[in-house]
Structure 1
């Protein structure tokens, strides 16, 4: 990129949320600093890590980097969104502290946005890497196929709510650049939780604007055992399920994306089933029942849901009987007595 082009280039805000991953943070920062597109501000938002990562930031001695440390842990989503709120750029891009960008990521995604003011977002494909940073070719290809980027046509897509919400092709957490002013970042609900990137995709797509897809793999997404995406812990899965439930309940009520309401309704069924199963695993059969009932009412032949509902109901009766025999008073019985 020429000097004159750089001088007239728009400001891009790079948001790097971080928490307790100093080694990965250094790598993510390095990939941001190395961008061939130079007119950037890099906003590092630390969610009150056990060890302050300020020395890592200061070691770069780069005046484009701004460091913000929350005095207490405010939660993952609030930490991420705080960076978007204070960003000054015309465009914003998220880079999680354990991911990395190729050096021409911004250089290849900013020009399409600048050339067409009717684009909300530009995004690309990405590599999958191991904990030690090695590219996993098999997983990379599988990821591109699953999220339907492998055969996605390069160029402009408008409307793109099917790509954004139904196919979830846009990895807005690490592989997208967004026109900042199309989203009111201060009112994103915290209930979206770990599904915040899906919710951002939804907000971009419902704008009526377009999306630009660049098929090259310009970023690297790290998979490791401590990510929520890699766990079978029922408590974590319950949290994830509730996040998805909140999102799809919002989507199903938005007429601007009514063409994919059937997909959203199907996803709601799947999420209720997922929540029910994980509530059972967590020893909460009474809470699971409502989710299985939802599935049964909308999916007549769900034998697995029927079996799980019966199991939850029988277990709930058994526990209630056991507590009753031991003289415990449940909250429901207490309320009935007070009434």
Structure 2
């Protein structure tokens, strides 16, 4: 029985029906090594930097497909940016109507013709050497299904804020990759590329998840394939209020989706790796409590309450309960003093 047929989650239902197919390419036409597909929605103010970061590494039309897939933007004109900057080198596809970012990703994957697929959100960007470095990882081992690099977090003005942890000193396959990727979201979408055949095998992003759909995908891949790591800082993830995560942060929706992602991928972790799901729940419960305190300091009790509730939905470990009680006491004193 294929593994997709018996993977399920008692809370959320069978997994396979929520993962649209990525159809194999069978037309016999020549295919490039890379497909760099840029999903956009009202991200025009960042799109030029995104495209320039790719075009600066362009190895030619025979080697790279570069395409923008727009989810019916309403606040800007990405087609004009593509015409002006791409000068015919970048193709453009616009959804007839807004379909949401998960369905837009599905379109991106099915429009990709390259053997290696890089989904580069229209507000993120890559640094020189990204494509060459990750391609070396894929060429090093045919069992590698995905390759990722260390990434930076930048703000809306492209100012560096922080960087991801160093996973290993030298480039190579990630040791104990499945457990490590299940414990915590270590990868941002601009930092990773995936073989198209992997998407064909495993399906597209899970439609149940509005946030953390990428985390679930990377764990799904690591359950079946080797994952390569490049230690150089070659991708940048932009953090701003209009991003998907930013829109869902205040009322803890992004953490609730993280909880659901853990529930989904726990079902296909081998028993010896189930501890990783428990650790993930504790890690993100701690994140919820830290964020709850941030909102308490701002005087936003509604947002604080949302994160307190989410923390307990994620974990009721003794350490989490102790922190919860301390924060709830602060909340009670604040409310009673008003």
What is the 5 A alignment of 1:244-283?
244-256=258-270, 258-269=271-282, 271=284, 274=288, 281-282=301-302
1:45-90: CA deviations, max 9, x gaps? 1111113321111223554422121222222222223201221111
Q: CA deviation at 1:223?
A: 3.0
Match of 1:194 in 2: 211
> Normalised by the size of structure 1, how large is the TM-score?
0.72
DSSP-derived class of the 1:178 partner: strand
Deviations 1:121-149 (A, max 9, x none): 22212333342234x2xx33xx23xx343
Q: How far did residue 119 of structure 1 move?
A: 0.9
RMSD, aligned α-carbons: 3.8
1:242 aligns with 2:261: no
Matches within 5 A, 1:99-248: 99-134=124-159, 136=160, 139-140=161-162, 143-144=163-164, 147-149=165-167, 151-171=168-188, 173-184=189-200, 186-207=203-224, 209-227=225-243, 229=245, 234-235=250-251, 238-248=252-262
| Distance in 2 separating the partners of 1:227 and 1:17 | 13
Q: Which has the larger radius of gyration?
A: 1
Map of 2:322 onto structure 1: 303
Matched, 1:35 2:52: no
Aligned pair count reads: 295
1:157 is displaced (CA, Å) by 2.8
CA distance in 2 between counterparts of 1:290 and 1:176 reads 29
Residue in 2 that maps onto 1:82 = 107
Q: Comparing 87-96 with 285-294, which one deviates more in the overlay? A: 285-294
1:28 and 1:13 map into 2 onto residues whose CA distance is 15
Q: Can you give the 5+ residue segments of structure 1 that lack an aligned partner in the other structure?
A: 1-7, 313-339
2:14 is matched with none
Unaligned runs of 5+ in 2: 1-29, 332-338
Q: Are the equivalent residues in 2 in contact too, given 1:37–1:107 (CA < 8 A)?
A: no
Aligned in 2, Cα 1:57/1:262: closer, same or farther, shift over 3 Å? same
TM-score (norm 2): 0.72
Change (3 A) 1:24 1:155: same
Structure 1 runs of 4+ aligned residues shifted over 6 Å read 275-278, 283-291, 307-312
Measure, in 2, the Cα distance between the counterparts of 1:301 and 1:94. Answer: 36
More helix by share: 1
Change in CA separation of 1:212 and 1:293 when aligned onto 2, cut-off 3 Å:
closer
* Secondary structure in 1 matching 2:215: helix
Whole-Å separation in 2 of the counterparts to 1:21 and 1:102 = 19
Secondary structure of 1:192 counterpart: coil
Aligned residues of 2:102 and 2:207 also touching (Cα < 8 A): yes
